[in-house]
Structure 1
Amino acid sequence: MANHLYKDDLPDGLDLGPVVAIDCETMGLHPHRDRLCLVQMSGGDGDAHMVQVRQNGVPAPNLEAMLADPNVLKLFHYGRFDIAAMKHRFGVLCAPVYCTKIASKLVRTYTDRHGLKNLTQELIGVDLSKQQQSSDWGAEELTKAQMDYAASDVLHLHALREKLDIRLAREGRSEIAQACFDFLPKRAELDLMGWPDTDIFAHT
C-alpha cells in the first residue's frame, strides 16, 4: 500500500479504473464557509491518491473530468457532504455515485450505528482509527498521520460495497438503493441551494 500526494490536481494519464472510492477533508462542515482541503481516492488496489486543494482557486481538470465521467462509478461513505463540497469548489456535480452509508441504513436496520468505523469493524473486520479526523487539514504540509488517516477512509470502500450489495440483494432492496444513489447528487445540490435540513417531501 502506498500514499501518493499531489498538489492541485491528479497527474496527467493517471487511470484509477471504473470504480473509484472518494472522500474529502475540509475545514468544517459548511461548504459555503469551510473550504475543501483534500480529496483522497483509491481504485481498490490498496493505493491512495490524494489531491491537496490549496486556496489558489485553480481548476483541477483531471480530477474534474473523473468526477463527471459517466463511465466511472464514484464510491462514498456519506457522499452527500463530499459531493456538495466538491460541487461548491469545482463546479462539477459528481455522478454516478454509490454511498455505503445509505446502503448500510437500508440493510443494517438492526442498528443505528452507520459510521465508517462501525461498518469496517462489522463487515470486514478492520478497526479504523479516527484520531486525525479533527486535525488541521488546511496546513500547507500534511503529516504522515493525516495522510494515513485520509487513506483509510477510501481503502476499504470497495470491499464494503461488495458486502453491502450482497445484503441489498438478499433483502430485496437493490433497486431502491440504486434510486437513492441516483438522487444523491441532486440532494447535495439542494443542500448547497439552501435546503439542507428541510424535508421537501414532508406534508408540513
Structure 2
Amino acid sequence: MNRRGLIVGGGAAALAATIMPAAASAATDPATAQHARRVLNLVNADLGAVDPEGATRLLEASLADYAESAPRDPDADDLLAWVQRRIAHLTGTDSIEAAVKRNPETRTLLAFGYLSYTQRQDRPQPRIARSMPVPAVLANLEPDFLPELLRQVQSRARTSAAFATALGTGSDHMTQLIVAGDGPGGTGPGHPTDEDILNWVVLLIVVAVVVIGK
C-alpha cells in the first residue's frame, strides 16, 4: 500500500526539536500531574513500538470504519469539536492540519500516543466515526491534561535516551499513516479525504491515550 508522510519533517529528526524546555507550563493541580504521570508510565520505552504490522492492520480497519460513517454535521458539538478546542488550548490553533503538520508539540503527543496504541493492541479498540459524541472519559478530562502530559513526555525524553529513541520510532511510524489513493475505502464514495485522515488519526490517538490507557 502506498503512503504519504503525515508529519512534515517527521521522524526522529523532527522529534529532536521538541526535546527542549517544555513549552507547556507545569500543571497547578496535583491530580492532573498524577493522571498524566500514570498515562506516561503506561508506555514502556524498552519495548518501543510493538508489532507495527499488527498496529497497521488495526489502524487500516479503523480508518475504513471511519470512512464508511455518516458525513459529519459541521455544526455538531462532537468529538472533533472537542479535540479542536483542546488543540487550540495546547497550540494556539484550532486547525488540525496546522497542528499536525507544523506544530512540534502536537507531533510529540501523536508519537507518544502511537507508542501507547501499539503496546495495547490486545485491548478493545476504540470505534471512531464522524460526528461521534464525546466519550464521558474525555468530557470529564482535566482542562490542563494535554499540556501537562506534553510537559512530562518532553521531560522524560530529555532525561531518558531510550524514551527519546522510542518517541523517534513512534514519529517515524506516524509518518506512514496518511493513506494514498489505493488505501482503505478505494476511490469511490466514502473514500477518506486528506482532511478525513488527519481528523481520524488525531481523534484515534487522543482516544487511545486517554481511553485505552485507563
Q: Same fold (TM over 0.5)?
A: no
Point out the structure with the larger strand share.
Answer: 1
TM-score (norm 1): 0.32
